[in-house]
Amino acid sequence: MKKIFFCSVLVSFLISCGKEKTGSMVVNGNIDGLKKGTVYLQKFVDTLLVAVDSVKVNGLSNFVLVDALETPEMYFLTLDKKESEKISFFGEKGTLTITSKLDKLLFSTKITGSKNQELLDEYKSMIQKFRGKELDFIKDKFEAQRNKDEELLLKLEEEEKNLIKRKYYYTTNFALQHKDKEVAPYIALTELYNANFKLLDTVNKSLTKEIKISKYGLKLDKFITEVRNNE
């Protein structure tokens, strides 16, 4: 009798563990070195970061997470052991694959299956060069101030302003080139919010009809309307 009871419990456990998840987005993940813990799939709902799915890892580093998203948007992969380190990615309908290593979680991540993520990676690669130059200007201006070289300081400040303008123009042009992708209003919101208002408005007007009604398309239009009303 005990054997029968044990077997029925085991079968029920296996069925519940093998329950198939369904959703418009499927994330196949593998974090090398992760033997035990919980992986969370998170996204922002209004201003609150919430978990839309989770899975317990016990022995195997492979896992599957799903969500029923309507339009592409940013998601975060978080481990209960490393809550401060979040893998961000542009989620889309279909199957995405995310791989990483536990000891280098944020620096060894590879994401495939999302066109918006590919474009975002391309954008970030170029922007990183701009930010590197911005850091150089901070260092050089500090040296000029320390040496009380006013002429050099003014020259550096003017060059820094021109660099920031080029960065804003690059961001605008990138968004215009990809006006049919959700990444366009996303980078406009995150990178141009404190730039010239005309640049934001240019991006907004260029968006295709489908992107205008996406999550970030609607957010961008709302932001621009609020700016206009507060002028």
Of 29, 48, 32, the C-alpha closest to 40 is 29
Spatial separation of the C-alpha atoms in residues 207 and 95, rounded to whole Å: 26
Q: What's the confidence (pLDDT) of residue 9? A: 34
> What is the mean predicted confidence (pLDDT) over 73-94?
95
The tens digit of pLDDT for each residue in 103-117 reads 999 999 999 999 999
Spatial separation of the C-alpha atoms in residues 83 and 47, rounded to whole Å: 18
The tens digit of pLDDT for each residue in 10-63 reads 333 333 344 567 789 999 999 999 999 999 999 999 889 999 999 999 988 899
Domains of the chain and any CATH numbers: 2-113 (2.60.40.1120), 117-229 (no CATH)
Q: What's the confidence (pLDDT) of residue 19? A: 56
* Mean pLDDT, rounded, of the chain: 90
Band of pLDDT at residue 119, cut at 50, 70 and 90: very high
Q: What's the confidence (pLDDT) of residue 174? A: 98
H runs (alpha helix) in the chain: 2-17, 115-146, 150-177, 183-191, 197-206, 209-212, 215-229
Spatial separation of the C-alpha atoms in residues 131 and 138, rounded to whole Å: 11
Q: Which residue has the tokens 């309507």?
A: 70
Spatial contact of 220 and 204, defined as CB atoms under 8 Å apart: yes
> What is the mean predicted confidence (pLDDT) over 152-175?
96
Q: What is the pTM of this model?
A: 0.86
Q: Choose the weakest-confidence range: 6-20, 169-183, 195-209.
A: 6-20
SS3 121: helix
